């Protein structure tokens, strides 16, 4: 990931100087995680009695925090899981644990995570590969892994009481199969899933074709995992604005964005300034790619889009259910930007 100096960002934005902001008690977020993980944001609530100056200050604080945070999470967009070879089998290890996960700086939520990160690390393999995924459950709840979108033998479909026994605390379960279909897929819990998936037991599972001749040639490949509910806020890759990271591209770059919705709500993702070309749905390449500026992603869906970075600037990129993105205290939740530099 390229880094962007703050002065360059401001220069690109055409901002010669940002008003000095005093550190206030208020966070930019309009939503706060709770012990119960309930959504507590109330759009419009909290504006009562706030002057426009206070509202402007809170919005500014959020943007300043976002700028200060750029580059602080180098694995934000791609966090591949390493594997070991056992003969011709790629062996991946996943450990599920209950952890405190920092959704915003200094704000921790009760999460469930694979290998200590939300989302879990990306598994990226090639069509025809043989994989072994070893799950060690270190949580206080039972669990199991479902490989969402992959064509696998029924015995490794990961649905407790239907295809396997629950993986109880302390136990290990081994999933082994061969990759029979390509595309953008995911792995996630299929047990107490409204809680386990939204608290973080999920990750990208990408199967590339062995022959890449027909794959789009891109300068960047970004995973954008949407989630809600379990961590008490709305997240992109486990983080809520202003603690998301920007996508940074150069003029003329062509980038691929892979969307995943692991939450309980729909999230129409709107990129300002540049259209998105949708090339695949649920891992299936579309016979007729189409253009849009807002792409609705329902729970369980994946979409692949291409963005031609033909317009310079800092383009807001956010969920257009606006109560997932902005309140009287500023932007929060499912917000990031695409920066197209010279």
| Residues within the interface to Cu ion (CB under 5 A) | 267, 319, 321, 324
Please give the C-alpha separations between residue 306 and each of 119, 225, 236, 280, in angstroms, as whole numbers. Answer: 22, 16, 18, 10
Q: Which is nearer to Cu ion, 39 or 81 (CB)?
A: 39
Residue 10 vs 292, nearer CB to Cu ion: 292
Residue 145: partners with Cβ closer than 8 Å, 6 or more residues away: 94, 133, 135, 158, 173, 175, 187, 188, 189, 190
Indicate the residue among 31 and 245 with the shorter CB distance to Cu ion.
31
How far apart CA 329 and CA 342 sit, in angstroms, is 32
Least CB distance from residue 189 to Cu ion, whole Å? 21
Give Rg (Cα) of the chain.
20
Calculate the CA 238 to chain-centre distance. 6
Cβ of residue 315: shortest distance to Cu ion, in angstroms?
18
Spatial distance between the Cα atoms of 5 and 1, rounded to a whole number of angstroms: 13
Q: How far apart (Å, rounded) are the C-alpha atoms in residues 154 and 76?
A: 33
Cβ at position 266, least distance to Cu ion in Å: 7
Q: Report the nearest approach of Cu ion to the CB of residue 234 (Å).
A: 6
Q: Smallest distance, Å, CB 267 to Cu ion?
A: 3
**Distance from C-alpha of 143 to C-alpha of 57, rounded to nearest angstrom:** 44
- In sequence order, which residues have a C-beta less than 8 Å from that of residue 258 and are 6 or more positions away? 184, 204, 206, 221, 222, 223, 224, 302, 303, 304
Question: Between residues 92 and 303, which has the closer beta carbon with respect to Cu ion?
Answer: 303
CB of 60 to Cu ion, least distance (A): 24
Nearer to Cu ion, 18 or 322 (CB): 322
- The structure tokens listed for 190 are 């299929």
Structure tokens at 28: 């930019």
CB of 334 to Cu ion, least distance (A): 5
Min dist. Cβ of residue 5 to Cu ion (A): 31
Q: Closest CB to Cu ion among 190 and 270?
A: 270
Which CB, 141 or 244, lies closer to Cu ion?
244
Nearer to Cu ion, 41 or 64 (CB): 41
Q: Is 218 left (phi over 0), alpha (psi -120 to 50) or beta?
A: beta
Cα–Cα separations (whole angstroms), residue 62 to 12, 108, 149, 204, 243: 18, 18, 37, 28, 9
Cα angle 324, 35, 32 (rounded to 5 degrees) comes to 30
């Amino acid at each position: 990931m390229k880094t962007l100096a703050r002065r360059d960002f401001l220069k690109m934005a055409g901002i010669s100087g940002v008003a000095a902001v005093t550190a206030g008690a208020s966070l930019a977020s309009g939503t706060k995680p709770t012990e119960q993980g309930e959504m507590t944001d109330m759009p419009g609530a909290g504006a009562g009695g706030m002057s426009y100056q206070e509202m402007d200050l809170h919005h500014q604080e959020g943007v300043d925090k976002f700028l200060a945070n750029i580059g602080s999470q180098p694995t934000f967009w791609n966090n591949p899981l390493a594997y070991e070879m056992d003969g011709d089998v790629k062996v991946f290890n996943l450990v599920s644990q209950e952890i405190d996960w920092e959704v915003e700086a200094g704000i921790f939520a009760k999460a469930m995570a694979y290998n200590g990160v939300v989302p879990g690390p990306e598994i990226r393999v090639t069509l025809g590969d043989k994989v072994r995924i070893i799950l060690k459950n270190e949580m206080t709840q039972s669990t199991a892994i479902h490989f969402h979108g992959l064509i696998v033998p029924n015995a490794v479909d990961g649905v407790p009481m239907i295809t396997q026994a629950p993986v109880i605390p302390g136990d290990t379960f081994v999933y082994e199969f061969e990759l029979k279909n390509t595309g953008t897929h995911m792995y996630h819990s299929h047990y107490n899933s409204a809680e386990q998936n939204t608290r973080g037991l999920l990750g990208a599972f990408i199967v590339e074709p062995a022959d890449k001749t027909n794959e789009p040639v891109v300068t960047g490949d970004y995973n954008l995992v949407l989630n809600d509910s379990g961590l008490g806020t709305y997240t992109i890759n486990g983080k809520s604005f202003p603690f998301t990271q920007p996508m940074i591209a150069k003029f003329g770059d062509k980038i691929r964005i892979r969307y995943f919705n692991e939450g309980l709500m729909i999230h129409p993702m709107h990129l300002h300034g540049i259209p998105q070309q949708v090339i695949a749905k649920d891992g299936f390449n579309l016979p007729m790619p189409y253009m849009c500026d807002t792409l609705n992603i329902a729970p369980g869906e994946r979409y692949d889009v291409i963005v031609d970075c033909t317009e310079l600037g800092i383009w807001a990129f956010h969920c257009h259910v606006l109560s997932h993105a902005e309140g009287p205290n500023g932007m929060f939740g499912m917000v990031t930007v695409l920066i197209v530099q010279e």
